[in-house]
Structure 1
Amino acid sequence: MKAAAKATAKSAKSGETPMFAGFEWMLAGRYLRSRRREAFISVIAGFSFVGIMLGVATLIIVMAVMNGFRGELLSKILGINGHLLIQPIGSELDDYDAVAARIENLEGVTFTLPFVEGQALVSGPSGAFGALVRGVRETDLRRLPLVSDTVTSGTFENFDSSTGLAIGTRMARQLGVSVGDTITLVSPRGNVTALGVTPRVKGYPIKAIFEIGMSEYDGTIAFMPLSEAQLYFNQEGIVTGIEVFTDDPDSVGRMRELVEEGAGRPAFVSDWRSRNMTFFSALEVERNVMFLILTLIVLVAALNIISGMTMLVKDKGRDIAILRTMGATRGAVMRIFVITGASIGIVGTLAGFALGLVVCLNVESIRQGISWMTSTELFSPELYFLSRLPADMDTGETITVVVMAMVLSLLATLYPAWRAARLDPVEALRYE
Structure 2
Amino acid sequence: MNNLPYELQLGIRYTRAKRRNGFISFMSFSSMAGIALGVMALIVVMSVMNGFQVELRERILSMTAHMQITGYDQRLRNWKKVYEAVQDVPHVVGAAPLIKEQSMLAFGRNVTGAMLWGVDPAYENQVAKLDAAIEDGSLKELNGHRYGIYLGKDLAEKLGVRKGDKVTVIAPEASATLLGVMPRFKRFTVLGTFSVGMYEYDVGLAVVHIRDAAKIFRYGDAVSSLVLKLDDLFAIQPVRDALAQRLDDTLYVVDWTQQHRNFFKAVQMEKRMMFLVLALIIMVAAFNIVSMMVMVVTDKQSDIAVLRTLGATPLSIQFMFMVQGLIIGTAGTLLGIVLGVALALNLDVVVPWIERTFGFHFFPPDVYYISEVPSKLAWTDVEGVALLAFALTLLATLYPSWRAARIQPAEALRYE
Same-fold call, TM cutoff 0.5? yes
Report the aligned-residue RMSD: 3.9
- 1-structure distance, mates of 2:360, 2:160: 25
Q: Is the 8 A contact 1:84 1:272 kept in 2?
A: yes
Residue matched to 1:357: 341
Q: Structure 1 252/285 Cα, relative in aligned 2: closer, same or farther at 3 Å?
A: same
Mapped pair 1:218 → 2:198: no
CA shift, 1:176, in A, is: 5.2
In structure 1, give the amino acid aligned to 2:336. Answer: G
Write the deviation string for residues 193-245 of structure 1: whole angstroms up to 9, x where unpaired: 322123414132224x4433322223322222212222233323221221123
In structure 1, give the amino acid aligned to 2:55. Answer: E
CA shift, 1:300, in A, is: 3.1
Q: Structure 1 115/213 Cα, relative in aligned 2: closer, same or farther at 3 Å?
A: same
TM-score w.r.t. the length of structure 2 is 0.81
CA shift, 1:275, in A, is: 2.5
- 2-structure distance, mates of 1:421, 1:146: 67
Structure 2, unaligned runs of 5 or more: none
- 2-structure distance, mates of 1:28, 1:385: 50
Residue matched to 2:286: 302
Q: Is the 8 A contact 2:96 2:127 kept in 1?
A: no
CA shift, 1:153, in A, is: 3.2
Q: Is the 8 A contact 1:117 1:135 kept in 2?
A: yes
Residue matched to 1:396: 380
- 1-structure distance, mates of 2:23, 2:263: 50
Q: Is the 8 A contact 2:363 2:371 kept in 1?
A: no
Mapped pair 1:28 → 2:15: yes
Q: Structure 1 431/61 Cα, relative in aligned 2: closer, same or farther at 3 Å?
A: same
Is 116-125 or 359-368 further displaced after alignment?
359-368
Pick from 186, 197, 210 the counterpart of residue 182 of structure 2.
Answer: 197
Write the deviation string for residues 9-44 of structure 1: whole angstroms up to 9, x where unpaired: xx9xxx9965644x653431125xx56xx2333343
Is 84-93 or 58-67 further displaced after alignment?
84-93
Mapped pair 1:143 → 2:126: yes
Pick from 91, 97, 117 the counterpart of residue 134 of structure 1.
Answer: 117
- 1-structure distance, mates of 2:220, 2:197: 33
- 1-structure distance, mates of 2:43, 2:378: 9
Q: Is the 8 A contact 1:100 1:112 kept in 2?
A: yes
CA shift, 1:282, in A, is: 3.3
CA shift, 1:305, in A, is: 0.6
The SS at the match of 2:86 is helix
Pick from 234, 249, 260 the counterpart of residue 233 of structure 2.
Answer: 249
In structure 2, give the amino acid aligned to 1:68. Answer: G
Residue matched to 2:167: 184
Is 335-344 or 236-245 further displaced after alignment?
335-344
| 1:262-341 equivalent positions in 2, closer than 5 A | 262-264=246-248, 266-321=250-305, 337-341=321-325
Q: Is the 8 A contact 1:136 1:225 kept in 2?
A: yes
Q: Structure 1 253/293 Cα, relative in aligned 2: closer, same or farther at 3 Å?
A: same
Mapped pair 1:346 → 2:330: yes
In structure 2, give the amino acid aligned to 1:206. Answer: L
- 1-structure distance, mates of 2:360, 2:345: 23
Instruction: Figure out how many residues of one structure are paired with residues of the other and give that number.
Output: 411
TM-score w.r.t. the length of structure 1 is 0.78
**What is the percentage of aligned positions where both structures have the same residue?**
31
The SS at the match of 2:129 is helix
In structure 2, give the amino acid aligned to 1:130. Answer: G
- 2-structure distance, mates of 1:147, 1:425: 79
Write the deviation string for residues 248-290 of structure 1: whole angstroms up to 9, x where unpaired: 4334344335435533472233222233333333333443344
Pick from 114, 119, 127 the counterpart of residue 97 of structure 2.
Answer: 114
Pick from 150, 155, 162 the counterpart of residue 138 of structure 2.
Answer: 155
